[in-house]
Structure 1
Amino acid sequence: MRDGAFKGKWQVAAAMDAYRVEGTVPMGKVRQQFTLDVIAADTADAEHRVYSIIGSRHKAKRRKIEINSCDKIDPRESREAQVIDHFREQLATMEPLPTKESPAQEALPKEEE
């Protein structure tokens, strides 16, 4: 038997994080902007997952897809079903994100009781 034919231990995936990837992809004669939230081990993995998703959905080649940014995000910020499902146990124990007040509400005087 050759070496490495059977793995002695299961290879465990690295800890996964949520990433937000933004870029553009050609759709006919125009370039469409996109934003995708994906689960990945690192930024390179997130970019490859986006290439795979966009390519399978829209038949766009990897060299035609432009990725402008790839940032790690808090899973509570995402609305993607896959991200919410992956982090559901963590989200159940986390506190909700603080809501931002609109500038109009900040300008109003606060009522004292």
Structure 2
Amino acid sequence: MKRNYDLGLLILRIGIAGLMLTHGIPKFLAFIGGDLSVVGDPIGIGALLSTILVLIGELIAPVLIIIGIKTRFAAVASAITMAVAAFMVHGADPLAKKEMALLYLISFTAIAFMGAGSISVDKK
């Protein structure tokens, strides 16, 4: 039973974090191209710092989650990023517009509580 649980966690980690990379990679490419308008400034700390925080949550943290290094910490970083996306960036939008951010938020929150499992670098 434990093996199935760990395999399920691995599938969840790879699936959700892998999909998040499809959002983080284009933002990283825009960032290195000098475009800070992709992220904007949703929490009032400036576009540069906002972009750096989003890249942590959408690029660096998902890579850590996939390979299972500091998984809980990384999942919290991604969950916070998705909370900002859902409730600040898309706060006034209809549910259909913020649904994806909410699904990511729920998934990363679950990973933060469960950890990486035994099929990971951290093996906890």
Provide the TM-score with structure 1 as the length reference. Answer: 0.25
Larger of the two Rg values belongs to structure:
1
Higher strand share: 1
Higher relative contact order structure (alpha carbons within 8 Å, sequence separation ≥ 6): 2
Provide the TM-score with structure 2 as the length reference. Answer: 0.23
Higher helix share: 2
